[in-house]
Amino acid sequence: METLGHLAHGFSVAFSPINLIWCLVGTTLGTAIGVLPGLGPALTIALLLPITYQVAPEASFILFAGIYYGAMYGGSTTSILLNTPGESATIVTALEGNRMARSGRGGAALATSAIGSFVAGTLGTIGVAFLAPIVVKFALAFGPAEYFSLMVLAFITVSAVLGSSSVRGLTSLFVGFVVGMIGVDLQTGQPRFTFGMSELLDGVDVIVVAVGLFAVGETLYMASRRYAGKDDIVPLKGSLYMTAAEWSRSWRPWLRGALIGFPIGAMPAGGAEIPTFLSYAIEKKLSRHKEEFGTVGAIEGVAGPEAANNASAAGVLVPMLTLGLPTSATAAIMLSAFQSYGINPGPLLLTTQADLVWGLIASLFIANVILVVLNLPLIGLWVRLLKIPAPQLYAGILVFATVGTYGISQSPIDLVILYLLGAAGFLMRRFDFPTAPVIIGMILGPLAETQFRRAMTISNGDWTVFYKHPLSLTLLTLAFIGLVGPHIWAYIEHRRMRGPEHVPGDA
């Protein structure tokens, strides 16, 4: 109950008019930069760091937190409407969200993502306020062996996004592995697949790949089929907002997404991408409308990942505020802002800087409210974007994708990569290879590799670490069940349902 007192005090800090204004500025700016691919919260906060010389610590952290949460909202808008993810955490949102937008349910997709973000963001912030010490203990128990097992589990579950042909899906996944390996190998310092180009030593940004494959590839495909008269975009069908059925299909994914996102976000190597993949896979598995996935777009596939991504954004704050551990680029920049004030985040931060920390947590609640208020009325406006005739709309997307990509590192090489990937995306689309597994392979592949090699280095080459650690064993067991469970289940069902005559080939 001590926490409630602290929180009340935090609200008194955050509710001062000047701090409310900072919160509003931060959330608005955050939404805007989240919309633009490339200009992410980490870069924006880094550029705004000099502000720490001018204003009080509370004010600047409230501003930064607003930007951070706002970017998570903004990123989903372009993912859904334009298939151009502004943030790596909203890549999964584009999968179903854009399908929904094309079939006239863009408004509902935006609404479920905004409300889901609010619900999960609020739950996540409650988690930061009340569960931080427990969650961090759990997160620290994750060593390289556990992370590797978690990646195995993630790989098993992402088979859900591989599409109808597993050969094509796996091909895409492996292409992603290769792209993910470009750059200096963290474990040995050796360059891989860089072809002697120093610009490639840091690897290829996942946003460039996502925008190239999704937005540019899609645009080229649309242009090539301009006169085929297929795949018309319906700006709006039925209600602008969510129908009763859509509400009832959304609330469970929101809660599940928040439950997956928060703890993984709190893990030092968790991040925001993995929980969105996991949430998507789970929603696809549990949905009663599986036929909508990948066709007209299933609302569960938007609601879950969006909730997961916002809850993980809150989770990232747990190790930062309790241990001084930055687990994302944005958190690392926020840490250096702490240092500008001569504050060293660490285990003692909560006691030495109670005003600051609780003011920050309170402002996160406020930021969430401001964001949902800011975003819901805008949905009508955003959806009208789709009324633009296709040639102009796609030309606009192309300009937008190019400008955004250039913004990531002001590197012309990135633009070359963007258009090469765009061409690849076009060919993949033309020959029916799914593009999402490329992104998943690119994110999960190097993570799994790194964690595997770390685990093996620490154990001095002893393979048994993966099943000797109880947590790791549990995760591997879950992965195994995920792999063979459905087959066994299908076999049992099959045996029970089967009549006297055998139906061939219904596996």
Report 391-420 residues binding another protein (CB under 8 A).
392-393, 396, 399-400, 403-404, 407, 409-411
* The residue type at 13: V
Round to whole Å and give the CA distance between 134 and 462.
Answer: 31
Q: Please answer whether residues 480 and 158 qualify as being in contact, where contact means their C-beta atoms are separated by less than 8 angstroms.
A: no
Q: How far is the CB of 318 from another protein (least distance, A)?
A: 12
Structure tokens that stand for 435 in this block: 């593009």
User: Is residue 199 a contact residue for another protein (CB under 8 A)?
Assistant: yes
Site string for another protein, 441-460 (x = CB under 8 A): -------------x--xx-x
Taking alpha carbons only, the member of 271, 276, 331 closest to residue 304 is: 276
Closest to another protein by CB, 163 vs 268, is 268
* Span of 50-58, 298-306, 415-423, 488-496 interacting with another protein by CB under 8 A: 50-58
Q: Please answer whether residues 370 and 23 qualify as being in contact, where contact means their C-beta atoms are separated by less than 8 angstroms.
A: yes
> Which one among 80, 220, 318, 325 touches another protein, defined by CB under 8 A?
325
Q: What is the CA radius of gyration of the chain?
A: 23
Q: How far is the CB of 68 from another protein (least distance, A)?
A: 14
Three-state secondary structure call for residue 325:
coil
* Span of 35-43, 102-110, 236-244, 250-258 interacting with another protein by CB under 8 A: 35-43
User: Is residue 24 a contact residue for another protein (CB under 8 A)?
Assistant: no
Provide CB contacts within 8 A for 291, sequence distance 6+. none
User: Is residue 46 a contact residue for another protein (CB under 8 A)?
Assistant: yes
* Span of 25-33, 237-245, 415-423, 483-491 interacting with another protein by CB under 8 A: 25-33
Closest to another protein by CB, 170 vs 335, is 335
Taking alpha carbons only, the member of 441, 472, 474 closest to residue 459 is: 472
Closest to another protein by CB, 248 vs 344, is 344
User: Is residue 12 a contact residue for another protein (CB under 8 A)?
Assistant: no
Other residues' Cβ atoms within 10 Å of the Cβ of residue 423: 14
Structure tokens that stand for 37 in this block: 């691919």
Burial per residue of 3-23, b for 16 or more beta-carbon CB atoms within 10 angstroms, e otherwise: eeebbeebbebbeeeebeebb
User: Is residue 482 a contact residue for another protein (CB under 8 A)?
Assistant: no
> Which one among 240, 340, 354, 355 touches another protein, defined by CB under 8 A?
340
> Which one among 1, 17, 167, 188 touches another protein, defined by CB under 8 A?
188
Distances (CA, A) of 145 to 126, 407, 500: 30, 36, 49
Other residues' Cβ atoms within 10 Å of the Cβ of residue 300: 29
Q: How far is the CB of 50 from another protein (least distance, A)?
A: 6
* Span of 28-36, 108-116, 218-226, 303-311 interacting with another protein by CB under 8 A: 28-36
Distances (CA, A) of 238 to 194, 293, 382: 50, 20, 16
- Residue count, binding to another protein (CB under 8 A): 77
> Which one among 120, 333, 356, 448 touches another protein, defined by CB under 8 A?
333
User: Is residue 235 a contact residue for another protein (CB under 8 A)?
Assistant: no
User: Is residue 51 a contact residue for another protein (CB under 8 A)?
Assistant: yes
User: Is residue 106 a contact residue for another protein (CB under 8 A)?
Assistant: no
Within 357-396, the residues that bind another protein by CB under 8 A are 381, 384-385, 388, 392-393, 396
Closest to another protein by CB, 26 vs 116, is 26
Q: Please answer whether residues 219 and 394 qualify as being in contact, where contact means their C-beta atoms are separated by less than 8 angstroms.
A: yes
Within 107-146, the residues that bind another protein by CB under 8 A are 139-144
Closest to another protein by CB, 16 vs 411, is 411
> Which one among 13, 211, 323, 421 touches another protein, defined by CB under 8 A?
323
Within 238-277, the residues that bind another protein by CB under 8 A are 268-269
Closest to another protein by CB, 255 vs 325, is 325
Round to whole Å and give the CA distance between 355 and 497.
Answer: 64
Helix then strand count (H, E) for the chain reads 22, 2
Task: Report the C-alpha dihedral over residues 299, 304, 310, 316, rounded to 10 degrees.
Answer: -160
> Which one among 10, 116, 297, 326 touches another protein, defined by CB under 8 A?
326
Round to whole Å and give the CA distance between 296 and 101.
Answer: 9
* Span of 91-99, 208-216, 343-351, 486-494 interacting with another protein by CB under 8 A: 343-351
User: Is residue 33 a contact residue for another protein (CB under 8 A)?
Assistant: yes
Round to whole Å and give the CA distance between 206 and 77.
Answer: 18
Q: What DSSP string describes 66-120?
A: HHHHHHHHHHHHHHHHHS--SSGGGHHHHHHHHHHHHBT-HHHHHHHHHHHHHHH
User: Is residue 202 a contact residue for another protein (CB under 8 A)?
Assistant: yes
Closest to another protein by CB, 173 vs 371, is 371
Q: How far is the CB of 388 from another protein (least distance, A)?
A: 7
Closest to another protein by CB, 26 vs 121, is 26
Round to whole Å and give the CA distance between 223 and 220.
Answer: 5
